[in-house]
A and B are shown apart, each in its own frame.
Chain A
Amino acid sequence: MAIIDPIEVGLAAGWQHVDAGFLDKDKHFDADVVIVGTGAGGGTAAEILSQAGLKVLMIEAGGLKSSRHFDMEERTAYPNLYQQAAAMKTADKGIGIFQGRTVGGSTTINWTTSIRTPAPTLDFWQQQRSVSGLTTSSLQPWFEMMEQRLNIHQWDYQPNKNNAVLRDGCKKLGWQHTVIKRNVKGCWNTGYCGMGCPVNAKQSMLVTTIPSALNAGAVLVSRAKVTDIAHRQDNVTSLSAIAQNEFGQPTGVKLTFSARHYVLSAGAIHTPTLLMRAKTPDPHLLLGQTFLHPTLLSGAIFDEQVNGHSGAPQSIYSDEFVWSDGAAGALGYKLESAPVHPILIASKTIGFGESHAQLMAQFNHLQVIIALVRDGFNQDSPGGRIRLTDNSFALDYPLNDAFWQVAKRAFKSMAQLQFAAGAKQVLSMSDGQSMVSSLTQAEHAIDNMEIGLLKTIVASAHVMGGCPMGEDKTQAMIGSNGQSHYLENLSVFDGSMFPTSLGANPQLSIYAIVAKNATALAKKLIR
């Protein structure tokens, strides 16, 4: 069936898009507002600012790829749409990190789970991190606005088996569970959200706010990587970028941008890295503290087919263990399912040779639960820190004893849940573990597990922090309104603003907080 590609249609209708990879000479651009990055934060800000009548220019390091490119294969998606071709890791290689690098940012490849910022997180920020004006009630209209804008509704279809296991296990055990809300319109329930939605049902920035900004006259410059922020006294004076070819390599063409106001939405990791590289003021050394929701995996084999590649990738979650001890208390974890695709599973499992081949042969019977550990709320969980390297950055994120302790608890909960839902066998994804056939065996194996760095598989698709918000300058780089404490014409609108992790999937928090802050900025700029 032919799918109409809204990006092709828009380009044909005259959108102002410059593919920097094709420029053959240096170029300068002017605008009222320049936005770096087109993900959850950049996309939301672009729509609001351009509709307020401001001349907006969006700069994106990734390419402009759309549904006609999304062929539901990992081998296409990872090099084209992900940071470092999905091979990004922390410095000690302990955590594999997934993040987007394409127009629409990570929203183009995310799994559509949409959750409002948990109240304990907002309370903690208010009480401990000097954040002001961001409460459950003050954010309510912004959540409602963005839920409406992105068609965020509860997923009322049957969950796929991968998620039904989570629901059924929770029901049997009496654990809290919730049906997920998703940002989709006319979803075909295929399960390939992580490779770019092939039918434009996912209401990512790529098909919603960015087209709307372009329709309002905004300019998009793709394949342009911002490398420097020039600043004098209390103001940013210009940005510089390099053009990149299809393979992400510099073409040699240089671009410069000037504007009245600059918005950084390059995402956690890249926004703080840019600020560090540009040596913007950071007297309290706050830039770069990064949170990941470091995530553990448990696989289960069922007699019946699970087909974890098919159907909405996430439709149920459980918060049974997230806040058990209060926000600042012992580490907690959220339980979700993760889609099963060949490369993802082949890489994020353990062993090689015959044992691995046997696991892969059960591909369609494999069910996967993940436990996302909320980080950043206490001394035991300080998160990671970005450091600049000669040409790039490294993220140091030591996984400490407190993490490994909660990891063992999480493995036990996941096994308990999977067996309660009827699993025949369970495998905790940590080297040295093998399939076990009962909860008693699982608990014994986990108690004796040689857990640790490079043994236990840890991944993250939720990169947060690095440029924290708050009113106290000893704790925050930007105000709760996103405005830099040091550079008057600079705002940060993306996941780097969070002073801790969220304890929930990030996209809706970014949409709502950025919608609020970008609306205030628009008012200020058109005054």
Chain B
Amino acid sequence: MNRRTFITGAFVSTAALAVGVNLSTSFTRQEHVQSSHRMLFATLIPIFLDGALPDVATHKEQAINRTLNTIEATINVLPQEQREEITLLLNMLESRFSLLLITGSLTPLILRQPFELIDMLESWRQHFITLLNTAYLGLREVIMASYYASPEHWGRLQYVKPTFVVGDN
């Protein structure tokens, strides 16, 4: 396995719980998550969060946008090395050549059907190559953590945080 592939595999789960919403407020948008990466995540979010996202189309779109912003912020609060690794993976998932290697198909992820994406994630999840398990887990964790970070997304959980005391942060 070459170094480039290895680094990419190693990175992803590091994003796990690093939800950077709060710290992100004073960040100006950085280059790390380019709009193309937003499109990639926008493709994967409905797959990972099927059944969790709101049913009403406009609410669903808002929820996806909020999650995309959180993912962006999350990546910004990671230590530099991990941030670089994430960018590398995202770039790979957008490169047709790497996609062919990882998924056996040249079709960009954003052009694939939901069932194809589910199959792809399931195959990464079950795969005997650790690298692909890690890619699945990393994407899963960053998307799940970023979605459930927002109080707006707790409706289906029937959960709200206590309101007896309000911090200033």
Q: Which of B32-40, B95-103, B105-113, B140-148 lies at the binding interface? A: B140-148
Partner of B18, one of A87, A190, A346, A454: A87
Q: Which of A18-26, A231-239, A359-367 lies at the binding interface? A: A359-367
A406 at interface, CB cutoff 8 A: no
B56 at interface, CB cutoff 8 A: no
Q: CA A71 – CA B164 in complex, angstroms?
A: 11
Chain B residues, Cβ within 8 Å of A93: 10, 13-14, 134, 137
Q: On chain A, which size bracket covers the interface? A: 35 or more
B63 at interface, CB cutoff 8 A: no
Q: Is the CB of A87 within 8 A of B17?
A: yes
Distance (Å) between the CB of B107 and the closest chain A CB? 21
Chain B residues, Cβ within 8 Å of A431: 125
Chain A residues, Cβ within 8 Å of B154: 342
From residue 126 to 162 of chain B, which have CB atoms closer than 8 A to chain A? 130, 133-134, 137, 140-141, 144-145, 147-151, 153-154, 156-159, 161-162
A382 at interface, CB cutoff 8 A: no
Q: CA A361 – CA B17 in complex, angstroms?
A: 20
A13 at interface, CB cutoff 8 A: no
Q: Which of A145-153, A350-358, A438-446 lies at the binding interface? A: A350-358
* CB-CB under 8 A for A80 and B17, given A190-B162, A357-B50, A357-B156: no
B52 at interface, CB cutoff 8 A: yes
B121 at interface, CB cutoff 8 A: yes
Q: Which of A62-70, A102-110, A120-128, A323-331 lies at the binding interface? A: A62-70
A74 at interface, CB cutoff 8 A: yes
Nearest residue (CB) in B for A391 is B81
Q: Is the CB of A342 within 8 A of B77?
A: no
Chain B residues, Cβ within 8 Å of A71: 161, 166-167, 169
A96 at interface, CB cutoff 8 A: yes
Q: Is the CB of B16 within 8 A of A357?
A: no
Distance (Å) between the CB of A245 and the closest chain B CB? 10
Q: Is the CB of A454 within 8 A of B130?
A: yes
From residue 462 to 510 of chain A, which have CB atoms closer than 8 A to chain B? none
Partner of A353, one of B48, B77, B81, B149: B48
* CB-CB under 8 A for A89 and B150, given A72-B162, A247-B23: no
Distance (Å) between the CB of A309 and the closest chain B CB? 7
Chain B residues, Cβ within 8 Å of A453: 130
Chain A residues, Cβ within 8 Å of B47: 352-353
Interface hub of B76, B82, B141 (most chain A Cβ within 10 A): B141
Partner of B149, one of A75, A358, A455: A75
Q: Is the CB of A68 within 8 A of B168?
A: yes
B26 at interface, CB cutoff 8 A: yes
Q: CA A363 – CA B148 in complex, angstroms?
A: 12
Chain A residues, Cβ within 8 Å of B49: 352-353, 357
Count B-side interface residues using an 8 Å CB cutoff. 59
B1 at interface, CB cutoff 8 A: no
Interface hub of B48, B153, B167 (most chain A Cβ within 10 A): B167
Chain B residues, Cβ within 8 Å of A72: 161-162, 167
Partner of B51, one of A91, A92, A353: A353
Distance (Å) between the CB of B64 and the closest chain A CB? 15
Q: Is the CB of A78 within 8 A of B167?
A: no
Q: Is the CB of A1 within 8 A of B164?
A: yes
Q: Is the CB of B51 within 8 A of A358?
A: yes
Chain B residues, Cβ within 8 Å of A87: 14-18, 78, 82
Q: Is the CB of B79 within 8 A of A392?
A: yes
Chain A residues, Cβ within 8 Å of B23: 79-80, 246-247
Distance (Å) between the CB of B109 and the closest chain A CB? 15
Q: Is the CB of B13 within 8 A of A79?
A: no
Nearest residue (CB) in A for B48 is A352
Nearest residue (CB) in B for A309 is B159
Chain A residues, Cβ within 8 Å of B153: 342
Q: Is the CB of A357 within 8 A of B51?
A: yes
Chain B residues, Cβ within 8 Å of A3: 165
B22 at interface, CB cutoff 8 A: yes
Partner of A346, one of B20, B74, B118, B148: B148
Distance (Å) between the CB of B18 and the closest chain A CB? 3
Interface hub of A87, A91, A199, A342 (most chain B Cβ within 10 A): A87
Q: Is the CB of B158 within 8 A of A363?
A: yes
Q: CA A114 – CA B60 in complex, angstroms?
A: 44
Q: CA A363 – CA B153 in complex, angstroms?
A: 13
A85 at interface, CB cutoff 8 A: yes
Q: CA A347 – CA B23 in complex, angstroms?
A: 20
Distance (Å) between the CB of B75 and the closest chain A CB? 11
Q: CA A343 – CA B153 in complex, angstroms?
A: 11
Q: CA A346 – CA B143 in complex, angstroms?
A: 10
Q: CA A343 – CA B133 in complex, angstroms?
A: 21
Chain B residues, Cβ within 8 Å of A352: 47-50, 121, 140, 144
Q: Is the CB of B150 within 8 A of A75?
A: yes
Partner of B133, one of A96, A192, A346, A454: A454
Q: Is the CB of A199 within 8 A of B121?
A: no
Partner of A76, one of B22, B52, B81: B22
A-B residue pairs in contact (CB < 8 Å), sample of 27: A68-B168, A70-B169, A71-B169, A75-B150, A78-B18, A79-B22, A79-B23, A84-B14, A85-B74, A85-B77, A93-B14, A343-B148, A343-B149, A344-B17, A346-B144, A346-B147, A347-B145, A352-B121, A353-B47, A354-B51, A356-B48, A360-B52, A360-B148, A361-B157, A364-B159, A454-B133, A454-B134
Interface, chain B (partner A; CB < 8 A): 10, 13-23, 26-27, 47-52, 70, 74, 76-82, 118, 121, 125, 130, 133-134, 137, 140-141, 144-145, 147-151, 153-154, 156-159, 161-162, 164-169
Interface, chain A (partner B; CB < 8 A): 1, 3, 67-76, 78-80, 82, 84-89, 91-93, 96, 188, 190, 192, 198-199, 246-249, 309, 342-347, 352-354, 356-358, 360-361, 363-364, 391-392, 431, 453-455
